[in-house]
Amino acid sequence: MKLLDGKKLSEKIKEEVKKDIEKLQKEHGITPGLAVVLVGDDPASHTYVKMKERACKEVGIYSIVHQMPSSISQKEIEETILMMNKNPNIDGILVQLPLPKHIDTTKILELIAPSKDVDGFHPYNFGRLLQGLETFAPCTPLGVMELLKEYEIDVKGLDACVVGASNIVGKPMAALLLNSFATVDICHIYTKDLKSHTKKADLLVVGVGKPGLITEDMVKDGAIVVDIGINRLENGKLVGDVDFENVSKKASYITPVPGGVGPMTIAMLLKNTLKAAYKRIDS
């Protein structure tokens, strides 16, 4: 068994991004800018945003956080996004999810200019992803693909099973794997006999937010296991959706939690923001 070390790779990517930004500043006078919309007092959201702010600072990305109370209106958020769409110094716009229940999340995400959609959630970018065209892909699945590439794991021809069908992770993950010519099986809450799907997978990718969902008997010998889930137990311990201790005995490769996919998500956000900034040169 070999660990897929996302923490190590993310540091390598950050160094590459930092060098590219220095070059961009020197040759074109451009500093990439990322704006984050943070609504409410959700502790996890605040933690994620602070991590993103810190990562931006490390590589030289200008970042600004629009922090708003949970009572804010739909119109006020929309006006903020429209303002950022017009700001030439902002290359990427990220709305930290989840938003309060009274906010129409779909409408908010659709307002972001596709050229600044560094989270890859806009239907335009998602449609291009499904067609295998150049676009912004969501950061978590993109990070998984980068991690597999780093360890020279070619997914072409592999039987892949994605457990979880969210718009943020599961669906784009399946699309990226399909675009790389894996044979993809996607499972969700209504899937009958989950084990029958996971057991035959050469590559198993799990992201549903349920600790210990995938047990040793659900994984075939030598499988590559990517655990996107992150859950905090009552004792404060962070765990994934996979029973790491036992599944790792059967897997050929496996991601740890924490230190696997999580750091890659932020690294891909930095890469997507840099990519958006490069578009300024041609505009």
- Which residues are catalytic, by number? 52, 96, 119
DSSP state of 191: -
Which candidate, 202, 110, 120, places its Cα nearest to that of 166? 120
DSSP structure string for 111-124: HS-GGG-TT--SHH
Largest CA distance in the chain: 56
- Contacts with 6 (C-beta within 8 Å, 6 or more apart), sequence order: 143, 147, 255, 259, 260, 261, 262, 263, 264
Cα of 111 vs its chain's centroid, Å: 20
List CB contacts of 258: < 8 A, sequence separation 6 or more.
Answer: 7, 230, 238
Owner of token pair 């962070």:
238
10 Å Cβ neighbour count for 235? 5
